[in-house]
Amino acid sequence: MNDPVNQQGFQPDDPIEEAAAAWLVQRDEGFTPQQAGEFEQWCRLDPRHANAVARLESTCALLERLPFSREQLLPAEEMGVPAGPTGGTRGIVRSWAAGIAAMIAFAAIAWWQWPGGEISSAQYTTAANGYDQVAMEDGSVMELNAGSAASVHFSAAERRVTLAAGEAHFEVKPDPGRPFIVVADTVSVRAVGTAFSVRLAEAAVEVLVTEGKVSLAPQNPALDGAERSPTVAPALPDDSMVQAGQRATVARHGADSWPKIEMIEPSGIREALAWQKRKLEFVETPLREVVAQFNRRNEIQLIVADDELAERRVGGTFAADNVEAFVRLLESSGDIVASPRGAREILLRRAR
């Protein structure tokens, strides 16, 4: 079994961890729309950034769930932090520079000594062109789209995933005694046995249900350690049910407190979840759309030289991560020429 003290993977002197802590302090005090955008940009800039945010939020959540107060766990004066009504994660995160490693050690030891409090934790990230499938210990499956970051925390009471960036799809194994909860920004998605995806877009959180149903609720600050500004965190109705074949969209920065729930056609669901497939299937699809699908999944980028070629219809099944094989197939037709342009671009043009 992993050492609970080191399980979170914190490096107290890591500049990325310190920057993540500073961002969370500012978020607790209330982002302006500009600051919210800058924070999202920072998280997307490097998968390590979003991962650091997820790890720090997870540690704060662990501290909040302990069966005694943080003051008993680690008095502020011992951390070199002025005592005062700093409540919630604000006080926790502000003590980062003085001793976050000690906080983690105390929290982990206390949690493991608490009967029934055993917890397992893990963090996952994918590169800008990556993909990952995670078989969780309870039998559930999580798939991560490109540029995603998520932390997974299982205890005897619940199964919790925090999506810090990107998009993830979940197939949840039923366990009525241990709910499955996915947190994305200020939205909490609760399921028992179902399949759904959660996408953390720049302007909204999107939840697409493919099987069963889920309920949406505001994320409780006592669980994620965030006391967010109303201008940044719209309040959801206490119980918003989303059924199979529906998509809910919740604005992240606006004042609208109600999620928009709409029916999605099967073709729309297939398109929204096309990133899951390691194979790409096309039927009389314009080359420009085929190229866009390959470019989203690969470092090597295809460029179509002219509009007429871009409208050329393509059909077939292709390996999503094998651009070279797809290009060779195009060239085999005799009327398309592929020319490397630098190390990561291939220009497609009509043969003269």
Which segments of the chain belong to CATH 3.55.50.30? 277-350
CB count, 10 Å around CB of 174?
14
Highest mean pLDDT among 59-63, 99-103, 165-169, 237-241 belongs to 165-169
Q: pLDDT at residue 122 above 80?
A: yes
Over residues 248-278, the pLDDT tens digits come to 999 887 656 678 899 999 888 888 888 886 7
Selected from 1.10.287.3510, 2.60.120.1440, 2.60.40.1180, 3.40.120.10, the CATH number assigned to the domain covering 15-266 reads 2.60.120.1440
Residue among 260, 204, 206 at smallest CA distance from 233: 204
pLDDT at residue 348 above 80?
Answer: yes
Query: Is the Cβ–Cβ distance between 129 and 299 less than 8 Å?
Result: yes
| CATH architecture classification, 277-350 | 3-Layer(bab) Sandwich (3.55)
How confident is the model at residue 239, as a pLDDT?
A: 52
Beta carbons within 8 Å of 73's beta carbon, 6+ residues apart: 63, 66, 103, 106, 107, 110
pLDDT, tens digit, 9 for 90 and up, residues 219-247: 754 444 333 333 334 445 545 789 999 99
**Residue 221 or residue 301, greater confidence:** 301
Please, where in the chain does CATH 2.60.120.1440 lie?
A: 15-266
What's the rounded Cα separation, in Å, for the pair 238 and 216? 7
